[in-house]
Amino acid sequence: MDSIKSLERAVAVCTDCSLCETRIHSVPGEGPEKPDILFIGEGPGFHEDQIGRPFVGPSGKLLDDLLGLIGLARSDVYIANVVKCRPPNNRDPLPEEIKACRKYLDQQIRLLDPKVIVTLGRFSLIRFLPKETISKVHGQPRLWGHRYIFPMYHPAAALHQGNLRSVLEDDMRKLPELLQKIQTESTEVGTEVPEDVTPDPEQLKML
Ligand code: URA
Ligand code: SF4
């Protein structure tokens, strides 16, 4: 699994948990190989299982609309899930399924190396910030290693609870500002520590 393509091939035939017995297609995820943003949902639903692609049902339509608000297309971002195969009847994924599938998400994060990980829903959030609740932290970027976690509600939640749609929209509109801030931060680091300058030991003693 040293490339996204080989990871996708491994997921397609994976039998490491019992979800492989009921899936039609596993859903590795899709998007560019070096995205700024990685969206992580919970797991494939009915429509995703049918065709092997993430967020292609009603939640996917809402996600597309939300991306459109900030001038992004689906092809600009990578979209993945915590578990890559559909839990029967869309039940919650079980701890042993999440554990068995974890290696794929870990590898996706490493290979894709996104600047921002947008977690969609509770299962995705607790993968990174296990003690947090969405109602408390949604829309608030959190530094995680050298990238940011940006928690959002799951689009499906807004399909059931209409008032969450505007919350999702407001949170999505904060993303461009975060990306801008990250660009500025990396420029500042670059100017403060020029790579080819060796500090003068005498000067260092005075600091
Ligand atoms: N919901 C998810 O969490 N993931 C999908 O891919 C589709 C719906
Ligand atoms: Fe493998 Fe993950 Fe599918 Fe389980 S959910 S069979 S671990 S790809």
Q: Say if ligand 1 is within 6 A of residue 41 CB.
A: yes
Q: Say if ligand 1 is within 6 A of residue 59 CB.
A: yes
Ligand 1 atom at minimal distance to the Cα of residue 124: 3
63-93 pLDDT, tens per residue? 999 999 999 999 999 999 999 999 999 999 9
Lowest model confidence (mean pLDDT) among 61-75, 99-113, 180-194? 180-194
Centre of ligand 1 to C-alpha 202, Å, is 58
Q: Measured at the alpha carbon of residue 67, what is the angle toward residues 152 and 90, in degrees to the nearest 5?
A: 55
Q: pTM of the entire structure?
A: 0.90
Q: Which ligand is nearest to the CA of 80?
A: 1
Burial class (CB in 10 A: 0-12, 13-18, 19+), 150: buried
Tokens of 6: 């080989």
- Domains along the chain with CATH numbers: 4-206 (3.40.470.10)
Tell whether the model's pLDDT for residue 203 goes beyond 50. Answer: no
Q: If you take atom 3 of ligand 2, which residue's CA is the nearest one?
A: 85
Q: Which ligand is nearest to the CA of 26?
A: 2
CB-based contacts of 158: which residues, under 8 Å, 6+ apart? 62, 164, 165, 167, 168
Residues in the chain: 207
Q: Say if ligand 1 is within 6 A of residue 43 CB.
A: yes
Centre of ligand 2 to C-alpha 204, Å, is 53
Centre of ligand 2 to C-alpha 30, Å, is 16
Q: Say if ligand 2 is within 6 A of residue 82 CB.
A: no
169-186 pLDDT, tens per residue? 999 999 999 999 999 988
Residue 116 near residue 147 (C-beta atoms within 8 A): yes
